[in-house]
Structure 1
């Protein structure tokens, strides 16, 4: 996933009250990390594929996953946000819920005043 796209998706998820963060997994490898209950994390979009799938980790160990979402290689950002919001992480092999849970109170964007400075000024201005 492109860095700016991953940042925009994480921001949109945070606006829905989902604890999402930009995930940097290496040089030019970006995704979205969603913090889950019980110390787990779901990592979306940094597998190097054009489709959307996630790994669920606990202390760095794989404890579950969300299989590739059919047709997700053509998703726009709103569809990616909706798919991540509808994910059910409770079982080792996750699934999508028929509809997203109601939005929770919005979380603040990461970085605040220093957002562009911390990102090396690579983010396109909005």
Structure 2
């Protein structure tokens, strides 16, 4: 996933109240990090493959995962946002809920002044 697409997905998730952040696991690699309630975090699409999948970590140790989502190679950004929002992380092998949970209050976008500077003050 390229940086600008990952940032747009993070922004859309934060608009839904999902505590998402831009993940930078390596040089020129970008993905989405979702902070979970119990101290775990889900790292989505950080491996550079075409499909959508995630690792669930606690203190850097793998404690679960989200298997490859069928057809996700062709998802648009809204479908990616919906898939991440619908994921239930309660089991070691996460599953997709039939519907997304109700949206929480929106979270502020990250980056502040420097993001506005980088994005051209839009």
TM > 0.5:
yes
Q: Is the 8 A contact 1:4 1:124 kept in 2?
A: no
The gaps in structure 1 that reach 5 residues or longer are none
Number of the residue aligned with 1:84? 84
* 1:73 Cα deviation from its structure 2 partner: 0.3
* 1:41 Cα deviation from its structure 2 partner: 0.1
Change (3 A) 1:65 1:114: same
Change (3 A) 1:48 1:59: same
Q: Is the 8 A contact 1:66 1:94 kept in 2?
A: yes
Change (3 A) 1:124 1:85: farther
Q: Confirm or deny that 1:99 pairs with 2:96.
A: no
**What is the CA–CA distance in structure 1 between the aligned matches of 2:116 and 2:47, rounded to whole Å?**
25
**What is the CA–CA distance in structure 1 between the aligned matches of 2:43 and 2:15, rounded to whole Å?**
18
Question: What is the total number of aligned residue pairs between the two structures?
Answer: 122
RMSD over aligned Cα, in angstroms?
A: 1.4
Q: Is the 8 A contact 1:66 1:95 kept in 2?
A: yes
Instruction: State TM-score, norm by structure 1.
Output: 0.92
Q: Secondary structure at the match of 1:37?
A: coil
Instruction: State TM-score, norm by structure 2.
Output: 0.95
**What is the CA–CA distance in structure 1 between the aligned matches of 2:19 and 2:84, rounded to whole Å?**
11
The gaps in structure 2 that reach 5 residues or longer are none
